[in-house]
Amino acid sequence: MQPINDKDNNRNNNAIPRVLLTATSSGIGKTMITCGILKALKNRGLNCAAFKCGPDYIDPMFHRKVLGIDSYNLDTFMCKRTGVRHSLLSHGRNRDICVLEGVMGYYDGIAGISKEASAWDVADATDTPAILILDCKGVSVSAVAVVKGFLEYETEHHIKGVILNCISPMMYARMKQMIEEQLKVRVYGYVPVVSECVLESRYLGLQIPEEVEKIDEKLEHLSRVMEDTVDLDGILELAWNVSGLQEDTQVKEHLLNLSDTLKKGIRIAVAHDEAFCFIYPDNLEILKKLGAEIVTFSPIHDRSLPENIQGIVLYGGYPELYAKELSENDSMRESICHAVTLGVPCIAECGGFMYLQERMEGSDGKIYDMAGALFGKSYKTEKLRRFGYIILSKGTVFGHNVGNITAHEFHYYESEECGHAFTAKKPMSTRGWECMISTDTILAGYPHIHYMGNPQVAEAFAGACRRYKEKD
């Protein structure tokens, strides 16, 4: 059969072509199957966009490695449903297909007791058809019961089909017949055991792509396997026959008209290298809409900050793995400390916050000097210190009250001084604590923030950068 590769074939051109690949649980191959399908579709010459449900940074890195383009996060807690629809619309236009990767199990959301912020929540918010990936190791007929449960759990389940993972061709033929006859849901193929494509995990999830030996070869091999075993034509037809997606006009107008008074040329230096790689592309795009020129730099490899900047951003990553290299780059540490001390506005999240402090315990257990712009030492612990979504309140951002901020944390490290500027509260819980350092020129702490959820955070930062430029 000739593969479908014409975007005008069987396609509703008034809609964003999209499909969500989800699973019954974590750890059954969602990311590799998503990457394999994306690679196979790209090999057909299709213009693909990738999205990740939830706050995860690692999976989008694999999407980018496959596609060579940015992958975007769709998070209904941090960005609300309106922000998710805006992101999908803005990045999905003029694409042949948008492939969304789920998070955890399909219905798993906030605090383990809610569907909010789950992959299902994204599918429901964007009216996206979902394909359920099922791990078939050690099961046969029981797999039919599992699919049946997922179909019946929610009336508007959005599940249009399944893909069977880790199954032999002979067993697949039997399972496909049972599922389609008994459940009236389409089976879009299978993935056999491909041992050479298994990824190892680290405490924050998968290895990053650069750490996987011969990742390009592995993904190319996996895509060839899937071209033979997965019904890619069927997936394209499903994605192309979706309904239109409506955007909230207030969100669109706010993002298109981000405070004209702030739209004056500012240069913001953003750390981006192997140590600082946890970046939401939407955050940078919002800063650009506020008139910022983004200049990337490496705290490991560059000797100093870029010239003529009015702002610094140090997002998260794995600085503890590169503590020695970061510490040995004296000139960069001094450059950042000097700039922050002079009042250059700075945002530092998680790993960036750790780097901004005086000392850090590396993954080797040794203590290393860091930038020294903030007091204290960060050190590793034996257990997960913070995990999950939070709501930040009762604080200011660069001197401005921006209201509540939705964020998330995931770290094993702790610091001697985590700050007291905000009250962090877990949703659907009474748990809370104080966190973050906030002044007229600094916003630093362990929480990760997506500006789509509260664009006023980015506006306050851009305003501080503008004020610094006018003062300079």
**Does residue 169 sit within a domain?**
yes
Regarding whether 213 and 118 lie in a shared domain, the answer is yes
End-of-domain residue from the set 177, 212, 240: 240
pLDDT tens for each residue of the chain, 472 residues long: 345 555 445 555 558 999 999 999 998 889 889 999 999 999 999 999 999 999 999 889 888 877 787 899 999 999 999 999 999 999 999 999 999 999 999 999 998 899 999 999 999 999 999 999 999 998 899 999 999 999 999 999 999 999 999 999 999 999 999 999 999 899 999 999 876 656 555 443 556 666 666 778 888 888 999 999 999 999 999 999 999 888 776 666 666 665 554 566 899 999 999 999 999 999 999 999 999 999 999 999 999 999 999 999 999 999 999 999 999 999 999 999 999 999 999 999 999 999 999 999 999 999 999 999 999 999 998 877 787 899 999 889 999 999 999 999 988 898 999 999 999 999 988 888 999 999 999 999 999 999 999 999 999 999 999 999 998 7
Question: Which residue is listed with tokens 């998260």?
Answer: 316
Helices and strands per DSSP (H, E), number in the chain:
14, 24
**Does residue 13 sit within a domain?**
no
Sign for the pseudo-dihedral over CA of 88, 130, 207, 114: positive
Regarding whether 463 and 317 lie in a shared domain, the answer is yes
Backbone dihedral region for residue 148 (phi beyond 0: left; psi -120 to 50: alpha; all else: beta): alpha
Structure tokens at 67: 């596609």
Q: Which element (helix H / strand E) includes 133? A: strand 130-135
Residue 266 class from Cβ within 10 Å (0-12 exposed, 13-18 middle, 19+ buried)? buried
Regarding whether 143 and 98 lie in a shared domain, the answer is yes
* pLDDT for res 358: 98
Quote the number of domains for the chain: 2
Regarding whether 197 and 269 lie in a shared domain, the answer is no
End-to-end CA distance of the chain: 66
Regarding whether 309 and 417 lie in a shared domain, the answer is yes
DSSP E strand boundaries for 320-468 = 346-349, 359-361, 367-369, 377-380, 386-393, 405-411, 413-415, 422-425, 432-435, 437-438, 442-445, 448-449
* pLDDT for res 431: 85
Structure tokens at 403: 């209201």
Q: Which residues contact 408 (CB under 8 A, 6 or more apart)?
A: 55, 77, 78, 388, 389, 390, 447, 448
> What is the CB neighbour count within 10 angstroms for residue 17?
23
Regarding whether 262 and 341 lie in a shared domain, the answer is yes
Regarding whether 308 and 176 lie in a shared domain, the answer is no
Annotated catalytic residue, options 79, 197, 350, 418: 350
Span 50-61, pLDDT tens digits: 999 999 998 898
350 is catalytic: yes
* pLDDT for res 2: 42
* pLDDT for res 203: 43
Regarding whether 449 and 346 lie in a shared domain, the answer is yes
Q: Which residues pair with 165 in a beta bridge?
A: 135, 191
**Does residue 407 sit within a domain?**
yes
**From CA 347, how far away is CA 353, in angstroms rounded?**
8
CA angle, corner 395, sides to 393 and 398, nearest 5? 135
* pLDDT for res 429: 85
Regarding whether 344 and 224 lie in a shared domain, the answer is no
DSSP string, 343-378: T--EEEETHHHHHHSSEEE-TTS-EEE---SSS-EE
End-of-domain residue from the set 195, 211, 240: 240
User: CATH number, domain at 106?
Assistant: 3.40.50.300
Span 75-105, pLDDT tens digits: 999 999 999 999 999 999 999 999 999 999 9
Regarding whether 370 and 232 lie in a shared domain, the answer is no
**From CA 186, how far away is CA 257, in angstroms rounded?**
44
**Does residue 247 sit within a domain?**
no
Regarding whether 269 and 225 lie in a shared domain, the answer is no
Regarding whether 462 and 377 lie in a shared domain, the answer is yes
User: CATH number, domain at 330?
Assistant: 3.40.50.880
Span 258-295, pLDDT tens digits: 555 456 689 999 999 999 999 999 999 999 999 999 99
End-of-domain residue from the set 240, 273, 301: 240
Structure tokens at 263: 């739209």
- Amino acid residing at 357: Q
Span 100-127, pLDDT tens digits: 999 999 999 998 899 999 999 999 999 9
Cβ-contact 165, 135 below 8 angstroms:
yes
Residue 430: give the domain boundaries.
Answer: 258-471
